[in-house]
Chain A
Amino acid sequence: MNRRQFVQLSGMGAAFLSSRLAQGKIVSAEDLLMPGMDGSAKKHLADTALNAAKSKGATYADVRIGRYLRQYFFTKEMRVENIVNSESYGLGIRVIANGTWGFCATNDLSLDSIAKCAATAVAIAKANAEMQEEPVILAPQKGVGIQTWKTPITKNAFAIPVKDKIDLLMKVNGEAIKNGATFVNSNLFFINEQKYFASTDGSYIDQDVHRMWPTFTVTAVDKKAGKFKTRDALSAPIGMGYEYLDGLASEKMSILGKPTVYRFSYDMVEDAILAAQQAKEKLSAKTVVAGKYDMILDPSNLGLTIHESVGHPLELDRVLGYEANLAGTSFATMEKWESKTFEYGSKIVNFVADKTQPNTMAAVGYDDEGVPCKNWDLIKDGILVNYQATRDQVHILGEKESQGCSFADSWDSIQFQRMPNVSLQSGKEKYSVGDMIRDTEKGIYILGRGSSSIDQQRYNFQFSGQLFYEIKNGEIVGMLDNAAYQSNSQEFWNSCVKICDKDDYRLFGTLFDGKGQPGQSSAVSHGCSTSRFNGVNVINTGRKI
């Protein structure tokens, strides 16, 4: 594709630009492929910032030089509504002075501006020190010198011609309509974070992070009956390149002839065809009878439940009260962890935090405090054994080094504790989804992400889904509608009786997990295999107005 074709297609979207989504300067698609500043130039700017901060009295300083590239596609039926190409570039400096954090950011990368920004960060720290009850205690982190890291992709999504992406979405929409959808919206989201980190510890780390998410919603309307139903894509937001859209048959699974699910390669067109057919089927689905059911939850559904009922409650900043005014605190309090006996789940429940797992969205080489990434147990044989923490928190856990959970969503945002990939470990014995359905007498099999809500300490939750299949005596007997499951996080994970093996392991995730004031979003993946939870309360959400 030549420059003019790029401009043509990117300009079409820019005309409908949503500044909230763009989060940066609008650029042509080809600008997204331009190389950023080279490493030596970044090091020069970073050293300027670090030296300026130290000269003003900082006892510690780190600097992040970020280039954030985004390309988003929005379509409706056979129209391209919007394409957003954006670039955001600048530098953020964080310091400790008088035992208190200070921060300043600028998009002016002149040496004078950087020095001024560093001085401002130190001044803010000193001003806020008056209200500081305890000084910041930072876990030691040996400098790692000059390092680079890149998401292992095989196809850079930004190098794929815009026209090819539009052709794909038009095919998705066309096939959905051909197969019974009344309306269809489809989207592609591509993100590339080029992040340079340096600190007074002696680290200079250049990272190139790629993430993507293809998705859609089809709607089937029955005007005569006054009803409409939707079905969202069963894709996963993922830490991969454009190769995720190759649609490899080897990564596809059909469950007892009913739904089709995808592992590390997604067939968007096929899923849209199935979605259209299933949305129509939902219009005449049987309304669920409220009561207790054995729930079989596909990773495309269970992933969100993991995120809300395990990922968030084990964030140490929440446990300590730093998020109390917005996101809330946590039921997984320190004394429960200290007891070493708190039964978070049944004995088969094992959760691992892992920022090194391939294809996941929180995978990086180093976090935004320069800490090398790793993995560790959160829940072992059902017992709560650890949290997620940053350099200034980890001493509270009696640990000598950070767990590497610091992240900022932009160069002008302050890094703070964000969730790593939090994943449920697969069952050790060979056990398929088909086996699980055959072993269930009265159950509901749920796929896809639906409505979700959980309280501010992460006890009481209610989740819905995209597809609900009724199971009677080991067989899928039909589709259900208006179902949502309610539980308490601890009760729910203690009702986990069976987990399929690693052959069924798939990823779920979110590109836009919100937290903090001012709000920031982060991307994270949750892996698991299909799991069964016995005796869960199901409610009927059907109402009339």
Chain B
Amino acid sequence: MSISVGYYPGCSGSGTSVEYDKSTRAVCKKLGIELNDIDDWSCCGSTPAHTVNHTLSAALSARNLVLAAKQGQEEVVTPCPSCLANLRTASRKIEDETYRPKVEALLDESCEKAATVASTLQLIVEKVGMDAIKKAVVKPLKDLNVACYYGCIMNRPPELMQFDDSENPMAMDNIMEACGATVLPFPLKVECCGAAGGMPRKDLVTELSGRLLDVAASLNTEIIVTACPLCQMNLDLRQGQVNRANGTSYDIPVVYFTQLLGLALGLSAEEVGLSKLVVDPTPRLRFAGVL
């Protein structure tokens, strides 16, 4: 199988979510997917840009889609749902002939040739598929109870994202099951974790992430699996803050789906960046025989 696509790592990939970027690259390589970094990519503007102005947000994102097309990439994938939402929204806006000139005016170049966008999760599900993953698993995640948490915007709004289910997504559940894990029915799959409120309104994050951890704990979740750098940060790095705010004492590891998938495919703990996580998953993974 030979798949080759453009790759947009997103800013957090070289900062707070280095292990997501690292494990994504390692897993894709293992699955025969060639990721071609967009040379000189820039920030999509994230949430702050679209809360200031939609055309500004579209222009910041469109710069990358135009760059990718110039570099010969028709399709770009990104691991980050926030980048995905911005890039897809921009893509939609520049398809609209009445809107495109506004974006082009800010960008000062033509947007006629621009790459399309999907998530790396979607790429793995649709282009590799569960049968191929099952066949490639060398270290099954048996005896591991996982809860898959998608975050709010990976699949919403459905009309924009066009992938999986907006209320009960199953992409990560299916991947984890293909890896041999026991997937718990996690009812808060698409609830918000508090998003970027951590710094300006920590109380919102400790409340909302607290609910997620409460429910995960009540299901005897051993590991929470995520696909979003912000969700992972709120649940993992801020788990201590959540505990202090709510009087709880959770220590539930929160890992990226690419890290567990990578381990199941035979990659080492080092290759999927396990040491970058704050709540250490290694005791549970050792107990389950994965490490």
Do A and B belong to a common assembly?
no
